[in-house]
Amino acid sequence: MEWVETTGKTVDEAKDLALDQLGVDHQDAEFEVLEEPKTGLFGRVRGEARVRARIAPKSPRPKNDRRRGGRSKGKGDGEGRSNQGGGQRSEGRSPQRDGQKSGASPAARPKSQNDAPKRESKPREERPPMDAEEQCRAATEFLSGLVTSFGLTAEVHADLDADDYLNVGVKGEGLGLLIGPGLNTLDALQELTRNAVQRQADGRDYGRVVVDVDGVRARRKAALEQFVADAAKKVVETGDTVVFEVMSSADRKVVHDTVGDLDGVVSGSEGEDPRRRVVLKPA
């Protein structure tokens, strides 16, 4: 998964904007803080926070990447404390003791330019994959039972695509009850289905679950893209800022992606979940 780089007045603001662009929650993302705002005279904040983020990988990074932030602990940490013949130590003094003798404190040591920013989320451990057919069966059986409990009749099908998305579709008549205003009910059904697949996975890796009813997500995306294009045109013509209504992270991602292809306008976010909004401003 490619990294995205964002800036904000604070680190948290930059992270939130990155989450909007990725379309995932905080626990599913990995961050690197590239730059933090600096406090100047009289407590004034100078500069911006800059972070980069990506969806957390499902397998561990190569060793040279994992060690980029510093030396890992292990058997090698004892190197130099004793010679091979078991005699006296030849290099047993720690840097801290040396610093104390010379009058320098650890805090006074200059920071190396090679120091990499600390990673705030660990890469996911490598897990065996769950069979695609088993994933589809777990999702369809759960959602079929749920639809029946609503007193509705519908056909449920699922497939795992090449991008590791477990797409679960529901088709039938009179299924508006499963969608709800702003797709809120549909999003809740999607989360319940994901939990059901996760229980069946029992520690194995599974696809990202996406539940749709009669193609409503695709229609909503197209309508939202057109709405954003119209709003962006207004921003360019008038120079005014436009604030959208509260949106889910998936809808915010659609807005940011759409604005990214337009000229003369930029997008940002304000507020905190679940009351987070997208803002359009002149570029």
Confidence band (pLDDT; 50, 70, 90) for 1? low
Instruction: Tell me the residue ranges of DSSP E strands in the chain.
Output: 4-8, 29-35, 38-39, 45-46, 49-55, 154-160, 165-172, 208-213, 242-243, 265-270, 277-282
Confidence band (pLDDT; 50, 70, 90) for 67? very low
pTM (two decimals)? 0.54
Confidence band (pLDDT; 50, 70, 90) for 222? very high
Instruction: For 5-28, write each residue's pLDDT tens digit.
Output: 888 778 888 888 888 878 777 778
Q: Given the structure tokens 């994992």, which residue do they identify?
A: 66
pLDDT at 35: 84
pLDDT at 14: 84
CATH architecture label of 132-214: 2-Layer Sandwich (3.30)
* Every domain range in the chain assigned CATH 3.30.300.20: 132-214
Instruction: For 130-162, write each residue's pLDDT tens digit.
Output: 999 999 999 999 999 999 999 999 999 999 999
* Every domain range in the chain assigned CATH 3.30.1370.50: 218-282
Q: Classify domain 218-282 at the CATH class level.
A: alpha beta
Give the span between the Cα atoms of 199 and 222, in whole angstroms: 33
DSSP classification of residue 272: -
Compute CA 61 distance to the chain's CA centroid, rounded to the nearest angstrom: 17
Q: Given the structure tokens 């969806």, which residue do they identify?
A: 55
